[in-house]
Structure 1
Amino acid sequence: MKRTLKLAAAALGAALLVPAFATAAHADASDCEKWSFCFFYNSNQQGSHDTLGDSVPNLAGYIFTSPGNGQGQPVKNNAASVVNNGCPAHVYFNSNFSGPNDFIPMFESANLENTYNENASLSFTTQLCA
């Protein structure tokens, strides 16, 4: 009986540690620094992300860098959600700030709708910063 209890306690302890280790390698919205904009590989600010601080007319060459699903993949045409910790911004379907877009207010996070996995540029609306 004692051996069974010890095995059960060890199994429970191991089960409790697994989520802690899995979470440690997971990027989330809190990883996005103030006055920056983060693209996330998955919806609901999940998976790997990449952080930008300026408008970008063409997201080619940017990759998801943080740990998580999508790490190493291109940001262009692969982002599903965002966190905006800076000025209001638009994510555009096309390069050079054109085509359908998603508006992301200051200090908001969102799943992309008009540019879900079809995002090519980012433009900050700096005159709207308070």
Structure 2
Amino acid sequence: MKRTLKFAAAALGAALLVPTLATGAQAAVSDCGEGQFCLFYNSNEQGSHMVVRSSIPDLAGYTFTSPGNGQGQHVKNNAASAVSNVCMTVWVNFYSNYGGPRDMFNYRNAANLVNTYNENASVKFASDC
């Protein structure tokens, strides 16, 4: 009987572990919750991130706050990727006050910054879905 209970406990533990392993690769994207736009310190939505809740004309003074590579670093001119879980178009701009080249993110879009990679100074929430 004890042997059966030990086997059942081991099987249950393994079954509970499988979903965690399957979702582990998606952890960075899920760190940016529904209704949030996040800028990440590293490419591929990795490292520390900052949640942006509304338009910011100048990212000076903002830092990456979540645990991970880049935590505490300035966001301005340091973001490499972004995740948009807000139902609107969001632009990451090269210059302060929403000027210059920009990268556009739509709802449920995650990507590396291209036009503003490590050269980002403002974020504009543009239009609703």
TM-score (norm: length of structure 1): 0.76
SS in 2 for 1:124: strand
Query: 1 CA distance for matches of 2:95 and 2:36?
Result: 21
Matching residue of 1:6:
none
Deviates more, 1:63-72 or 1:31-40: 31-40
4+ residue runs of structure 1 moved beyond 3 angstroms? none
Number of residues paired by the alignment?
Answer: 104
Matching residue of 2:117:
116
1:28 Cα shift? Answer: 1.0
Matching residue of 1:9:
none
SS in 2 for 1:50: strand
Identity %: 57
Q: Which runs of 5+ in 2 are unaligned?
A: 1-20
Matching residue of 1:4:
none
Query: 1 CA distance for matches of 2:111 and 2:89?
Result: 13
Query: 2 CA distance for matches of 1:107 and 1:58?
Result: 24
Matching residue of 2:67:
67
Give the letter aligned to residue 97 of structure 2.
Answer: N
SS in 2 for 1:125: strand
Q: Which runs of 5+ in 1 are unaligned?
A: 1-19
TM-score (norm: length of structure 2): 0.77
